[in-house]
Structure formats: structure tokens, C-alpha cells
Amino acid sequence: MVGPTYSLHAIVLRKTKLGESDLILTLLAEDGRQVRAVAKGARKPNSPFSSRLEIFAEVEALMASGKSLDIVKEVRLVDAHQGIVFDAQHAAACAPVVDLASRLTQPDLASPKMFALLSSALGHACSCNAEEALAVCAAFMLKAFSFAGFRPCFDRCVGCGVSMPLSCTETARDTVLFSAAEGGVVCSRCLLFSDAQRIPVEVLSWAHFLLMSTFDDVVASRPPCRVMFEILHLCQSWVREHVGSRLKSLDFLFVSGLF
Ligand SMILES: [Zn+2]
């Protein structure tokens, strides 16, 4: 039985095949709630939904409340983010963005900042080159961790609060201790019983910059690809520690050889 209809402004985070021709969609609504819905017949070649319900697409939809899953009745594309969808490098760089958004949001929990952050990240990633999109992805992840309540600390020891040197002029050989379990950088005096690992100052300095900067500034800063990958590895250990899973999209990015 189909319930009342409502309109929904949302971004497609994930899609799963259902039966012969249907799709189950995971959407992030404008208020930050996650919505799971069925698009009936969406995989038929002549479906009005085809090409409008791809991952990364921002849509206006007419929905009907259902018993367990809501039902997509009509869809209008707001932005397909084609620059991401039609380029393998962009798509691989942005897959962890929607993957993380689906892990950090819930059906009954409003989080409007998360939608705004996601929409802005995809908009920027769409209009920059693939290496810059990788930096947008890393910046999105660090900012999303903050919104979800587990912001990494890069400039002060998480044990005693002492200020840690994070100058970009340091050589790549200089390292600082970092612990995902403890929430950030750790000074040598607080090292006892810590699982901290040594991370180059250059990497933590860039991570701090990504966390504190707008996407415009991130794209303009010409972030080095090699360092962005190191930050994405930090993000994966952060997800493992604080979300309790791994992002397969990140694992794919690491082994894909696309960059
Ligand atoms: Zn300390």
C-alpha cells in the first residue's frame, strides 16, 4: 500500500539492484536524513528514471511513503555531476565521498550541514581536474568526521594539549606521532600506552590545511597527489577506528592504479 506523497531534494549515495528491473536507492535528503527508496522499473532501458538516478546525482523527486521503503514516483535532475560520472579518475576519487556520507548519516537523524558539505564537495570535484578532486575528497572526509563528532586534531597533542609544530617548510623526513584511536597527534611525553604511528609533518600539515580551508582554497592550493593518498590512508584508519568498518571505495582507489 502506498502512503502520502512528498517532495524530496536529495543526492544519490548508493544504488542496489532489486528483482529484475528495480533499484533500491540510498539518498541523502537536504535536511541530512538518509532516505531509502525503491525506483520501480528503473533498470529498464526506456525507464524515465534511467540516467537520472545515477550515484552523485542531485535530484528533486516526488516520493510516496511506503511501509518499509519509500517509492520514487518522479525525478527531475538538478545536477548529474557529469564531470564525475563520465571520468574514471573523478568517479574513483569521489566514490569515497558518497560512501562516507552513507556511513555517517541515518534515517531519522537530521544533519543539514552534511548535505550542504556533500553538495559543495561534488560541485567542486566536478569542475576541477582529477588530482584536485582527490584533494576535495580528502577535505570532505576530514570535514565530515568533524560534523559527525570525531574531528581529528592535527595541531595540538590530544593528551596534554601542547602545541605541535606543523610547518609546511619542514622536510619530508620530519615526523609527528599520530593515533587514530586517541583522536590525533600525540607528543612524545604522552606516548606511553599509545598505538601512535609516525606520520610525516608534511602530511599532517596538509591534513590540517584541508580540514580548515574552503573547497575553493583546497582546489587552488595545488595539493600534491602523493600526500593526498597518505591523508586518505589516514582517513581509512580513522573510519576503521571511529565508524567500525572500512570504505571499500577507498581500498579500490588505493589499488586502482588510476593516479
Ligand atoms: Zn602530550
Tell me the pLDDT tens digit for each residue of 236-251: 999 999 999 999 999 9
Res. 168: pLDDT tops 90: no
Please state, in angstroms and rounded to a whole number, the distance separating the CA atoms of residues 38 and 130: 32
Split at pLDDT 50, 70, 90, the class of 38 is very high
Please state, in angstroms and rounded to a whole number, the distance separating the CA atoms of residues 214 and 259: 24
Res. 147: pLDDT tops 80: yes
Please state, in angstroms and rounded to a whole number, the distance separating the CA atoms of residues 135 and 229: 9
Q: Looking at residue 92, what is its pLDDT?
A: 98
Res. 54: pLDDT tops 80: yes
User: Is residue 184 within 8 Å of 234, Cβ to Cβ?
Assistant: no
Q: Looking at residue 192, what is its pLDDT?
A: 76
C-alpha 238 – ligand 1 centre gap (Å):
20
C-alpha 191 – ligand 1 centre gap (Å):
7
- Percent of the chain at pLDDT exceeding 90: 85
Written as one string, the DSSP assignment of 8-62 is EEEEEEEEEEETTTEEEEEEEETTS-EEEEEETTTTSTT-TTTTTS-TT-EEEEE
Could you tell me if residue 111 is left (phi over 0), alpha (psi between -120 and 50 degrees) or otherwise beta? Answer: beta
Q: Looking at residue 87, what is its pLDDT?
A: 97
Q: Which residue has the cell 569515497?
A: 96
Average pLDDT over every residue of 42-67: 93
Average pLDDT over every residue of 35-54: 92
C-alpha 155 – ligand 1 centre gap (Å):
11
Q: Looking at residue 113, what is its pLDDT?
A: 94
Q: In this predicted model, what pLDDT tens digit does every residue of 212-221 receive, in sequence order?
A: 999 999 999 9
State the virtual CA torsion across 124, 130, 131, 135 in degrees, nearest 10.
30
Res. 53: pLDDT tops 70: yes
Q: What is the Cβ-side half-sphere exposure of residue 250, based on CA atoms within 13 angstroms?
A: 24
C-alpha 196 – ligand 1 centre gap (Å):
12
What does DSSP assign to residue 190? G
Q: In this predicted model, what pLDDT tens digit does every residue of 169-187 receive, in sequence order?
A: 545 568 899 999 999 999 9
What residues have CB less than 8 Å from 128, skipping those under 6 apart?
136, 219
Identify the architecture of domain 5-80 in CATH: Beta Barrel (2.40)
- The more confidently predicted of residues 50 and 232 is 232
- The more confidently predicted of residues 21 and 193 is 21
Other Cβ atoms within 10 Å of 153 Cβ, number: 17
C-alpha 194 – ligand 1 centre gap (Å):
11
C-alpha 153 – ligand 1 centre gap (Å):
12
What does DSSP assign to residue 78? E
C-alpha 210 – ligand 1 centre gap (Å):
23
C-alpha 186 – ligand 1 centre gap (Å):
6
- The more confidently predicted of residues 31 and 171 is 31
Res. 193: pLDDT tops 80: no
Q: Looking at residue 50, what is its pLDDT?
A: 79
Other Cβ atoms within 10 Å of 109 Cβ, number: 12
Q: Looking at residue 60, what is its pLDDT?
A: 98
Average pLDDT over every residue of 24-43: 96
C-alpha 241 – ligand 1 centre gap (Å):
21
Candidates 30, 183, 54, 34; CA nearest to 115 is 30
C-alpha 200 – ligand 1 centre gap (Å):
18
User: Is residue 225 within 8 Å of 146, Cβ to Cβ?
Assistant: no
Q: Looking at residue 169, what is its pLDDT?
A: 53
Average pLDDT over every residue of 63-72: 93
Res. 139: pLDDT tops 60: yes
Domain boundaries, the chain: 5-80, 90-152+185-255
C-alpha 56 – ligand 1 centre gap (Å):
41
- Percent of the chain at pLDDT exceeding 70: 97
What does the mean pLDDT of the chain come to?
A: 93
Q: Looking at residue 170, what is its pLDDT?
A: 47
C-alpha 43 – ligand 1 centre gap (Å):
55
